[in-house]
Structure 1
Amino acid sequence: MHNRSIRRTRRTAAALLCAAGLALGATACNEDTAQDAGSSESPAKDKKPTAPASKGSDTGNNGGSGSDQDSGGTGGTDDKAVDADANKTIPLGQKSALTYKRSKKVATLEVAAQSVAKGSQADLSGLRLESEAKSLQPYYVTMTFKNIGDNSLKYPFLNTPTSLRDGKGNGAKTLITSDDAVKSCPGKDPDDFGPGANATICKIFLLPKGETPSVVYYTGDFDKGPVYWKATKD
């Protein structure tokens, strides 16, 4: 219990430090800084997504298995393999079974970018923002997660791998806040995420005014590449 209390205190402190600053990069407050240092919001560093997949290929939940060596598991009404959507673009709202791997944390998740909504600077009035952040347009990306493997995750930071690009291919800045500091975009990450667990988490991104989102992408495993979702529904 003592160790758990210390970890929760460190996590809260880190989030508050981030919130006090400008809009930070998506990996600036990741617990796995050494591994995530190779990830950038620059589109030139990511593989280009392929054409959108068929809308009929939504991934459901057929269970799965995972271990530190092999995330395992399959998912989808079409029995689609885990990580089959890596480096592909799929429709907004479609679920994708993928590997989540951060340091010693490995799991099989079912992930979906559910919505991308235009926010308001008024929603951020309670935050201490630098002048640059105050001139940008907020967008709220809501993600859903389900643990379809056998591994339990402690303090997983599920939403950290979520990123957003504008129509020019430029990465949006990420505004990291503490838990539910922005009521219109609740971003509390679960402390424990066991098999069968579900979570819905919102993340705030900032784009220059006049720019619109093009894709949401999630890099669960850097060795396999991101899954992309179109930022708008057809």
Structure 2
Amino acid sequence: MSTISMRRSVLATVGLAVVGGLALTGCESGDEASPAQPAASAPGSAPATSGAPSGAPSGAPSGDSAAPAGAPGTAKPGQVFKIGEAAEIPYDYGDFKGSRLALTVTAIEQGTAADLEGLNLGDKANGKVPYYIRFTIKNIGTTDMSYASVGHVKGLLGDGSEAQSLAVIGRFEKCKQESMPKGFANGQSQTSCAIALAPSAQTKVAGAQYAGNPYNAANRSEAIAWK
């Protein structure tokens, strides 16, 4: 994933594809992003989180072999957690293969339609209400995970269907999508956020799910969830 230079305006898009460099995460099934070390000339810039692998720092260690899903202490495919409960997951992407994380959805906060103003969504934002899925990531493995990024965190509507996701290029203060900092070693934690869109004010985002490897079956039955 390339580093995105700081822009004066914040851009976003919704849809089922990557269009003109603006990333949507609707039903994507790609790998987690492993962004390269940010250039010193772009402090504070936020990398896009489109879910496509793009390498990692050349010196990143490969770590030990991660426990597969279902191993003792590791979240089982389809397991459901309460908001605030940690799920231990393997992280097997790019140079970070063999890593382990504790992923915790800490809150799902309702925003307002006005939050979407200025994101250049046009008619795609009509009637939609953003929800902010806040989560923490803790390195519980032996791998230095500098600049890695956790994607595949999505919202769930009240009927259990997947909410549309929104990826923002640039800094969106309401929901900062953070990658892991330099020196992200065992025991360190990072907060991040994912945006889910409810189709109307009458429909709520009631839960969240993580559908990264190895919880990314096509029918979503193996995704782990928080409700």
- TM-score tier by shorter-chain length is 0.5 to 0.7
Quick one: distance in 1 between partners of 2:142 and 2:187? 9
Q: Is the 8 A contact 2:133 2:196 kept in 1?
A: yes
| Matching residue within 153, 156, 180 for 2:148 | 156
TM-score by length of 2: 0.68
Tell me the distance in 2 between the aligned counterparts of 1:84 and 1:168.
Answer: 23
TM-superposed CA distance for 1:68, in Å, is 5.4
Look up the match of 2:18.
Answer: none
**1:203 corresponds to:** 194
2:3 to 11, 28, 37: 11
Secondary structure at the aligned position of 1:228 is classed as: strand
Say if 1:161 and 1:22 are closer, same or farther in 2 by CA, change over 3 A. Answer: closer
**CA separation in 2, counterparts of 1:91 and 1:22?**
28
Cα 1:149/1:69, change in 2 over 3 Å: closer
Q: 1:157 to 1:19 in 2, by over 3 A?
A: farther
Question: Is 2:22 the counterpart of 1:25?
Answer: no
Which one of 180, 190, 205 corresponds to residue 180 of structure 2? 190
Greater Cα offset, 171-180 or 18-27: 18-27
SS of aligned partner of 2:156: strand
1:219 counterpart residue number: 211
Listed as ranges, the matches of 1:93-108 within 5 Å are 93-106=84-97, 107-108=99-100
Aligned partners of 1:108 and 1:147 also within 8 Å = yes
The alignment status of 1:88 with 2:94, answered yes or no, reads no
Q: Is the 8 A contact 2:75 2:224 kept in 1?
A: no
Q: 1:226 to 1:139 in 2, by over 3 A?
A: same
User: 1:191 Cα shift?
Assistant: 4.4
Equivalent residue, structure 2, for 1:137: 129
The number of residue pairs the alignment matches comes to 180
Q: Check whether the contact 2:100–2:139 (CA below 8 A) recurs between aligned residues.
A: yes
Structure 2: which 5+ runs fail to align? 16-23, 31-49, 55-60, 217-221
Match of 2:109 in 1: 117
User: What TM-score does the superposition give when structure 1 sets the normalisation length?
Assistant: 0.66
Kept after mapping to 2: 8 A contact 1:67/1:150: no
Q: How does 1:10-89 map to 2 (within 5 A)?
A: 10-12=2-4, 19-22=11-14, 24-26=24-26, 27=28, 29-32=50-53, 70-72=65-67, 81-89=72-80
2:175 and 2:194 in contact (8 A); partners too: yes
Aligned residues with identical type, % of pairs: 22
One-letter amino acid of the counterpart of residue 169, structure 1: G
Q: Aligned AA for 1:226?
A: A
Query: Is the Cα–Cα contact under 8 Å of residues 114 and 144 in structure 1 kept in the other structure?
Result: yes
In the TM superposition, what whole-angstrom CA distance separates every residue of 1:61-118 from its partner, at most 9, and x where no partner exists? xxxxx95561159xxxxxx933234311111111111112224422100111100111
Residue 129 of structure 1 aligns with an amino acid whose one-letter code is L
What residue is the counterpart of 2:21 in the other structure? Answer: none
CA-to-partner distance for each residue in 1:132-175, whole Å, 9 max, x for gaps? 223211101001110010011243221x1201111223211111
Asked whether the 8 Å contact 1:72–1:149 carries over to 2, the reply is no
Structure with bigger helix share is: 1
